[in-house]
């Protein structure tokens, strides 16, 4: 777990700035094409901002403040920069008349003003958001695992591609991804914090998918927070990869089977957010109007950081950083874009 800047000893990037920019383009082009083929996804355009009363914005863990502004020609109507597109994607599948086993993906760009800035966290977020229509029978752990394996196959293809393009790199990923539940993880490492458990299990296996995030564990705590109105907490999880440069488990994707009416009712009751039932998006789920879906996000900059063996996310994306962090990074051979 990183709660401050970690500086790898004797770090030196294998690629200069221009080479890095070229490699970023290669990674993004290769991976999104492969992912879309694996999951049968079509690329669509996505909004940068939404109206708060629609209920489409993601409130993440519940404490993050969305960036908002008003629009002059709409009588100073307030809108919010998206924090993710978890809900918008499901609505888009409905509006665009996608069919079962078809899905979409898009480039999601967001601002998260409350992020604590470190090697992995920036106020600028860029990820591939994807969503796919499934049947009622697909709302199972087996279907979730099958989808994770397809995403992991795309990650393995990318790993091999990067090694072919840059001969000085060696493969990073194991042949298979390991599945473990959040409760099994707590049982295995009861004395560690959730983040340190992720580090330990990722180091052991190389690549893991942690199932069931959002519900209380036996200890009374949660592995991590999840909004109550997009993932079904019994059918979701995170893909974690062992990062040898930063010596930690790197979350590369959060995903899951989305809530149906029953799961939405249950989770809103748990979190005390029943007032959301008045919003149009939530009404459509409760009335079984929206399709059943599975979806998630895959961090673009995190993917580039991982496969290009970078020490700081600012090496693969342009953002804003504290002056002392920039100075220290420069002194240690870390060039922030």
- Which of 13, 90, 112, 126 is catalytic? The answer is 112
**Pairing assessment for the beta strands 68-71 and 49-50 based on DSSP bridges:** unpaired
Residue 243 neighbours by CB distance under 10 Å = 23
The residue from 229, 238, 260, 315 that is catalytic is: 238
112 is catalytic: yes
Residue 254: active-site member: yes
Options 80, 131, 199, 251, the catalytic residue: 251
The one catalytic residue in 13, 36, 58, 229 is 58
Q: Which residues pair with 214 in a beta bridge?
A: none
Q: Which residue is catalytic, options 32, 36, 122, 127?
A: 127
Task: Indicate if 226 belongs to the active site.
Answer: no
127 belongs to the catalytic site: yes
- Residues tagged active-site: 58, 112, 127, 238, 251, 254
């Amino acid at each position: 777990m990183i709660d401050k800047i970690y500086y790898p000893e004797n770090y030196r990037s294998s690629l200069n700035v221009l080479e890095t920019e070229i490699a970023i383009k290669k990674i993004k082009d290769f991976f999104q094409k492969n992912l879309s083929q694996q999951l049968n996804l079509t690329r669509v355009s996505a909004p940068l901002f939404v109206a708060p009363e629609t209920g489409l914005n993601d409130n993440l863990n519940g404490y993050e403040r969305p960036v908002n502004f008003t629009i002059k020609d709409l009588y100073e109507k307030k809108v919010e920069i998206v924090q993710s597109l978890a809900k918008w994607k499901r609505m888009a599948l409905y509006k665009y008349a996608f069919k079962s086993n078809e899905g979409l993906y898009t480039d999601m760009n967001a601002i998260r003003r409350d992020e604590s800035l470190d090697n992995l966290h920036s106020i600028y977020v860029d990820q591939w958001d994807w969503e796919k229509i499934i049947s009622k029978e697909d709302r199972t752990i087996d279907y979730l695992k099958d989808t994770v394996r397809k995403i992991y196959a795309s990650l393995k293809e990318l790993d091999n591609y990067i090694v072919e393009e840059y001969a000085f790199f060696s493969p990073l990923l194991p042949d298979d991804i390991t599945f473990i539940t959040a409760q099994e993880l707590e049982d295995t490492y009861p004395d560690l914090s959730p983040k340190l458990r992720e580090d330990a299990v990722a180091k052991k296996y190389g690549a893991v998918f942690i199932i069931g995030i959002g519900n209380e564990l036996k200890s009374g705590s949660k592995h991590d927070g999840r909004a109550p109105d997009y993932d079904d907490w019994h059918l979701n999880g995170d893909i974690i990869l062992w990062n040898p440069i930063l010596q930690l488990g790197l979350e590369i994707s959060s995903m899951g089977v989305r809530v149906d009416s029953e799961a939405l009712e249950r989770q809103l009751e748990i979190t005390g957010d029943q007032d959301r039932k008045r919003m149009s998006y939530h009404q459509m789920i409760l009335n079984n109007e929206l399709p059943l879906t599975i979806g998630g996000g895959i961090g673009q900059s995190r993917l580039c950081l991982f496969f290009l063996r970078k020490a700081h996310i600012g090496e693969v994306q342009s953002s804003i950083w504290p002056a002392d962090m920039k100075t220290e990074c420069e002194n240690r051979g870390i060039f922030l874009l």
